[in-house]
Structures are given as C-alpha cells and as structure tokens.
Amino acid sequence: MLGEGIIQGLVETARNFFGSYVEKERLTTVEYPEEQLPLPEASRVFPFLLYDGADAEKGLRCVACQICEKECPPRCIHIEKSKDKKPDFVGKPQAYPAVFDIDVSVCMSCQICVEVCPFDAIRMDKQFELSTSDRFGGLLWTKHELAKSNEYYRQIHPVEAAETDARRAKEMADAKAKAAAAAAAAAAKAAATPPAAATAAAGPATTSAAAASHGPAGNGATGNGVTGNGTAGNGASANGAKAETAKTVVKP
Amino acid sequence: MTLAGGVVTGADQVFVLLKHWLVARTPGPLQALVSILLTIIPIIVVFPALFAVTTVLERKGLGRIQNRYGPNRVGPFGVFQPLADAVKSLTKEDIVPRSADHVVHYLAPLVLVAASFLAYAVLPIGRNMTAVNLDAGVLFFFAIGAGTELAVFMAGWSSRNKYSLLGAMRAIAQMISYEIPLILSSVAVVMIAGTLSTVKIVEAQARYSDGVAHWYVFTPWGLAGFILFMIAATAETNRSPFDLPEGESEIIAGYFIEYSGFKFALFFLAEYLEIFAVSGLGITLFLGGWSAPFSFLTWIPSWIWFFTKLLALIVGFIWIRGTVPRLRMDQLMNFAWKFMLPMTLVVIFAAAVWRFLPHGVAGSAAAGLVVRWLVCALVVAGPYVLLARGLERGRKIEKRTYRYAE
C-alpha cells in the first residue's frame, strides 16, 4: 500500500531516536577532547630521539651519523655534528648531535628515518596533538623537545621497544664479553712477556748504550701487544656483523 | 464569573490585556501607531526566536535519529548553538558575484523574509490574538505565500549562476505544483466553515459536543485533508524529502548558492518562518487553531495550545526529514499531479458528502455521526486504494543495468 514504507521508516527512525537515549552502545561517537580511543601499536605521527638513563643530554643514542638527514624525503631534519666525542652505551667514543632539529610542518611521517637509523636512536611517536599558536618557532623542534626516554618508548610501542631492548642488551653483553676476553688476553700476554720485559728493564740498568740497542726489542714486545688487540678488534667486528644479521632477521 | 474563571481568562488574554493597557497609557495621536507596533513586534521577536530553538532542536533530533549526539559544545547540551551560528553568519564576509544583478541579488532575501513575515498577519495565535482579522484571511495567506516564489526566482536569476538558476526553476516548478493541492485541501475547510476568515474558521472548530472539539481533523475528510495539506506544505517550504531546489549532490545549494554571510542566514530564517507559518495555517484550518481538543482542557491558555501544536508539527517535520530520502524531479511531479491533486479533489467531495448527509439517523445524532463517518471514510479511502494500486501497477521495479561507453 502506498505510504506503508514511510510508516515503517518513521518507526525505524523513532526507534533510533529513543534508543540512542536508552542504549549507550548505539552512540558510536567518541567525544574527542574529553575521551580518546587508544591508538594502535603501529600508529606513527612524528619522530623523536631516544635516550637511555635519566639524562637526555648524556644518554642520547644519536651519534650524528646524518643518515636520516640524507634519507629524509622532505628534508625536514637538520643535524650538526659535535666536535668532541662521548662514550656510547658500549663505551665506544662517538660523536653526538650538537644540533638536531626536525620541522614538524614539513615532516610527512614516512618513518624512513627510523628504518635507516643503525643506532636505534630515532623512533616514531604517537603524539598527534602538535598544533601550536607559533607557526615558526613552535613547529621547529630542537633536540631538547625531541628527546624522549626509553621508558616512554616502551610505553607507546611495547612490542617494538622490547625487541630493540633485547638486541641492545645482547650487543652490550657481547661487548662486555669481548672486553673481558681482550682483558684476559692482555693479562695472558702480560704473564707471558715478563722475561723480555725483565731484560728490557735490566738493559738500561747495565749501560745506557745497551739500552739504546735493546730499544727495538722493547718495541717488538709492544708490537705483539698491538697484534693481540688487533685480533680482539676482529672479534668485535665479527660480533658487530652478527648483530647486524640479527637486526635484519628481526626487521622484515 | 468565578475567581478561577477570572484567572483562566486573565492567563488566556494576558497579552491582549497588556497591549490594551499600554495603548491606553499612550497619548491619543500615537495610540494607533503604538497599537500597530505592539502587534507586529511580538511576531517579529517570537517567531525568529522559535527559529533559533528549532535549529538546535532539529540538529539534535536528526543527530539522535542517526545515533549521534548532535551539537553539544556551546553551552549546556548545546543550547547556545544558535547564538554561535548567529555570530558566525554575522561576521562572515558577504560576497556578491561580480556579474550578479546587484539590486535584485540584494533584494531577494529581504523580499523573502518580508513575505514570510506577512503571512503571520492572519494567523490566530490565540483567542483575540490575530494581527489582522481579514475576511479573506486564507486567501491573503496564499497570496502572500506566492511572494516567496517571486523572491526565490529573484535570487536564482540575479545570482547569474547556472546552479542557482536551476535551483530556482526547480523551486518554482515545485512550489506551483504543490500550491494547488495545498489550496484545494484548504478549500474543503473553507467550504465547511463557510468563511475565508482564519478567526472564524478557528471559532467554528472551538465548539464542543460531548467534550470533544469540532476540529476538522477529527473527520475523515479533515484527516485526509490535513495529511495532504502537510505533505503539500512540506513541498511548499522546500523541506526534505522535497528539498530538490537545494539538492546538495546535484546543484549544491540551489537558488541561494551565491549568498553568504547574513544574507544566507536570512534565507535560512525565511525558510523556517515559512514552515512555521504554513504549520500555523494547518493548525488553524484543521487542528482547531488555539482551541483545546477536549472541553476539560480549555483552562489552558489558548496561545499555549497554539504553540504546543506548532511544536508538535515542527517535530513531525524534523522526524520526516530524518526518515525520508530526497525525491527525484519526475517522482516529485508525478506525486503532485497524479496523487496529490486527485486526492485533494476527493477530499473536497468527501467534505461535501459530510456536509449534506443527514445529521441524524432515526432521530439519533450519534447514529447519524457514525453513518456520516463511515460513508465519508469510504469516500476518501476507496479512491486512495484505487489510486495507490493504479500508481504502483505501471511501475516496474527491476535491476538497473549500466551500459558504459565503449
């Protein structure tokens, strides 16, 4: 009958109208500033710099290698390398960024900087409320604004952070083991060399001319020490390669 | 008159008495002017205020119909949303197209709003509360209503925009098509009441027998006439589902596409004023105007009854808007000429049947009423069923096939 469909429609909309006051699950609206949906693990907005420990300046992982700066498609990263060096997490002296700026308004959230970083120093943040009333200074973030702690990273990307932390722990353990091995090797070398050292030490005691002739022998002993260090270095590079393979396996 | 009766009459006539009191206190030469102002200003204040209330009601109602919250940011539950909208439309830039006809473009919204306001002159908002008691009030209402069509075409033509012109053409076609059923359905009432005066039509309905008012909507022809009148009114005011003149998907905003800022707000205001006015006429013609439906409710002031009915009709408009999708142009025209027009003629015939059937059968008024009711209902329902079948028979609903260009 003509008009029947309209009556059915009116009943349906009336049910929606009254139902929306009774059943809360009908209203799918999330009233944004007051309530927020949890963001998915993989969500990403803008990169930040990771630091270990409590001090952002000291613990900053970035070594100012500038790979991200070169890879950034919209070129929103600006890095100036430091003149001096500071030890990294395995104790190796590394440069650090004297200046590290990212332009929020230029960044396109592509995550390429994260993909290329060999030092796990830059990661993507989930924070998306980046608007500011100052569109010039307020949108250029320096390294102080970019630096976020590893705890924060664990909080926003738990799965990714756990994987990074495990890899870094392994690297650190390897480095320690290597250092221990190097120390042990040095100690063994030191134990093996005493006679030569004794003659070298005795040499100067006899005559000053003999001391001059014994000089090369002493040099040879130190040369041996260097070779020992060299093998230790090889070990370290092998470890580094292993770490690299581990990294490539984890990262698809 | 008892004290309670006095209080009831006082509440009913409070605005009338207030006006008389104020007029009596003005010096003689100014009395006429003050009287006119006191009649006009309430209309100019109350109905735009009602417009403000309606916009927020509509947005919230539509939201709930679609399982949303609707506006709830400005003030508690979003009740101050109209204020924010007003500030927005007042502060927006008023852009006039360079090639537009500036004078006509400027005048169109003013003419539209003026015509919409003029229609209120003959509406009985309460007992003794009609701005002008014209003998041909209903005729005046429709004559003024035609002024809005002129304004719509002025807007569409002067904008020099193909969409606004298309929108205006659609609006004119639609308004003229639906004006016929609108007027014919009110002709039935005019026939029964025997007068064109809105005041007298309401007075004819404000009588009670067995406690029930003589509203025309309580008769078969009146009910059918009321439904037809409201459908035609929906089309006449360009409300959804008849909002083709402003179909967003086809012609963006129709005839007011080139209007911005406060002129756009004026169009919006006029649209709602028309809705209220035509609803007010529907109330006057079929729903007994300011009268109460049952005699024991007559103590409620007449103007409260009028605005209650008006709000009920507005809710109906919003409900329909949230339910029915927009018609196509051919559907719109078919509906007007193939369904609305025959049905309104049937309603006129039914009203005549109602009038000339004997009012009592075998000396019993109740039996006479039942017989009249049945006969009249048959006269309306029979053609409706036949018409509906006839309209649906010729229509083949089949899967649409698309042919793409090779």
Interface of A with B in 27-46 (CB under 8 A): 27-29, 31
Q: Are A16 and B65 a contacting pair at CB < 8 A?
A: yes
Q: What pLDDT sits at residue B308?
A: 92
Residues B278-284 have a mean pLDDT of 92
Identify which of A211, A80, A41, A60 has the alpha carbon closest to the alpha carbon of residue A121: A60
Identify which of B265, B259, B253 has the alpha carbon closest to the alpha carbon of residue B95: B259
A6 Cβ under 8 Å from any chain B Cβ = yes
Chain B environment of A6 (Cβ under 8 Å): 323-324
Interface of A with B in 124-183 (CB under 8 A): none
Query: How sure is the predictor about B395, in pLDDT bands with cuts at 50, 70 and 90?
Result: low
Q: Is there a contact between B317 and A10 (Cβ–Cβ < 8 Å)?
A: no
Q: Rounded to a whole number, what is the distance in Å from the CA of A24 to chain B's nearest CA?
A: 10
Q: How far apart are CA A166 and CA A28, in angstroms?
A: 40
A146 and A58 assigned to the same domain? yes
Sign of CA dihedral A44, A49, A55, A59: positive
**DSSP one-letter code for B338:** I
Q: Which residue has the higher pLDDT, B399 or A195?
A: B399
A26 Cβ under 8 Å from any chain B Cβ = yes
Number of separate domains in chain A: 2
Inside any domain, residue A5: no
- Least confident window among A213-217, B28-32, B100-104: A213-217
A179 and A151 assigned to the same domain? no
Q: What pLDDT sits at residue B334?
A: 86
A145 and A171 assigned to the same domain? no
A131 and A204 assigned to the same domain? no
Q: How far apart are CA A207 and CA A164, in angstroms?
A: 60
What percent of chain B lies above the pLDDT cut of 70? 97
Size of interface A-B (CB pairs under 8 A): 45
Identify which of B103, B117, B286, B119 has the alpha carbon closest to the alpha carbon of residue B188: B286
A148 and A167 assigned to the same domain? no
Q: Rounded to a whole number, what is the distance in Å from the CA of B62 to chain A's nearest CA?
A: 8
Query: How sure is the predictor about B317, in pLDDT bands with cuts at 50, 70 and 90?
Result: very high
Q: What pLDDT sits at residue A244?
A: 43
**DSSP one-letter code for B128:** T
Q: What mean pLDDT value characterizes chain B?
A: 86
| CATH number for A53 | 3.30.70.3270
Inside any domain, residue A104: yes
A109 and A204 assigned to the same domain? no
Q: How far apart are CA A98 and CA A81, in angstroms?
A: 6
A142 and A57 assigned to the same domain? yes
Inside any domain, residue A151: yes
Domain edge (last residue) among A156, A177, A193 = A156
Q: What is the pTM of this model?
A: 0.75
For residue A87, the one-letter residue type is P
Tokens 């059937």 locate to B357
Q: Are B64 and A10 a contacting pair at CB < 8 A?
A: no
Structure tokens at B280: 């007010």
Q: Rounded to a whole number, what is the distance in Å from the CA of A35 to chain B's nearest CA?
A: 14
Q: How far apart are the first and last CA of chain A?
A: 62
Domain edge (last residue) among A96, A126, A156 = A156
Domain edge (last residue) among A156, A186, A203 = A156
Q: Are A2 and B392 a contacting pair at CB < 8 A?
A: yes
B97 Cβ under 8 Å from any chain A Cβ = no
Strand partners, A97: A81
A141 and A241 assigned to the same domain? no
Q: What pLDDT sits at residue B315?
A: 93
Q: Which of A81-85, B310-314, B352-356: highest mean pLDDT? A: B310-314
- Nearest 5 degrees, angle CA B313-CA B316-CA B319? 155
Q: Are A17 and B64 a contacting pair at CB < 8 A?
A: yes
**DSSP one-letter code for B210:** T
CA A26 to chain centroid: 44
Q: Are A16 and B64 a contacting pair at CB < 8 A?
A: yes
Q: How many CB atoms lie within 10 A of CB A65?
A: 18
Inside any domain, residue A64: yes
Q: How many CB atoms lie within 10 A of CB A82?
A: 14
pLDDT (tens digit per residue) in B115-163: 999 989 999 988 888 888 888 889 999 998 888 888 888 988 898 888 8
Structure tokens at B398: 């089949």
| Sheet strands side by side (includes A122-125) | A122-125, A46-51, A147-149
Which residue among A3, A17, A31 sits closest to B61, beta carbon to beta carbon? Answer: A17
Chain A environment of B319 (Cβ under 8 Å): 10, 13-14, 17
Q: Which residues contact A52 (CB under 8 A, 6 or more apart)?
A: A59, A61, A89, A149, A150
Inside any domain, residue A195: yes
Q: How far apart are CA B204 and CA B196, in angstroms?
A: 12
Tokens 């010039």 locate to A136
Inside any domain, residue A26: no
Q: Are A16 and B392 a contacting pair at CB < 8 A?
A: no
A151 and A168 assigned to the same domain? no
Strand partners, A51: A60, A149
Q: Are A12 and B392 a contacting pair at CB < 8 A?
A: no
A15 Cβ under 8 Å from any chain B Cβ = no
Residues of chain A with pLDDT under 50: 198, 200-252
Give the structural domain span for A223.
163-250
B388 Cβ under 8 Å from any chain A Cβ = yes
Inside any domain, residue A31: no
B387 Cβ under 8 Å from any chain A Cβ = yes
Q: What pLDDT sits at residue B252?
A: 79
A91 and A167 assigned to the same domain? no
Q: What is the ipTM of this complex?
A: 0.79
A180 and A80 assigned to the same domain? no
Residues B187-195 have a mean pLDDT of 91
Q: How far apart are CA B251 and CA A32, in angstroms?
A: 33
Which residue among A1, A26, A31 sits closest to B67, beta carbon to beta carbon? Answer: A26
Q: Is the pLDDT of residue B276 over 90?
A: yes
Q: Is there a contact between A14 and A7 (Cβ–Cβ < 8 Å)?
A: no
A62 and A134 assigned to the same domain? yes
Q: Which residue has the higher pLDDT, A87 or B228?
A: B228
pLDDT (tens digit per residue) in A12-34: 999 989 988 888 888 888 888 88
Q: Which residue has the higher pLDDT, A228 or B30?
A: B30
Exposure string of B228-249, with b = 16+ CB inside 10 Å and e = fewer, is: bbbbbbbbbbbbbbbbbbbbee
Inside any domain, residue A57: yes
- The length of chain A, given as a count of residues: 252
Q: Are B385 and A27 a contacting pair at CB < 8 A?
A: no
Q: What pLDDT sits at residue A2?
A: 76
Identify which of B193, B198, B195, B200 has the alpha carbon closest to the alpha carbon of residue B219: B193
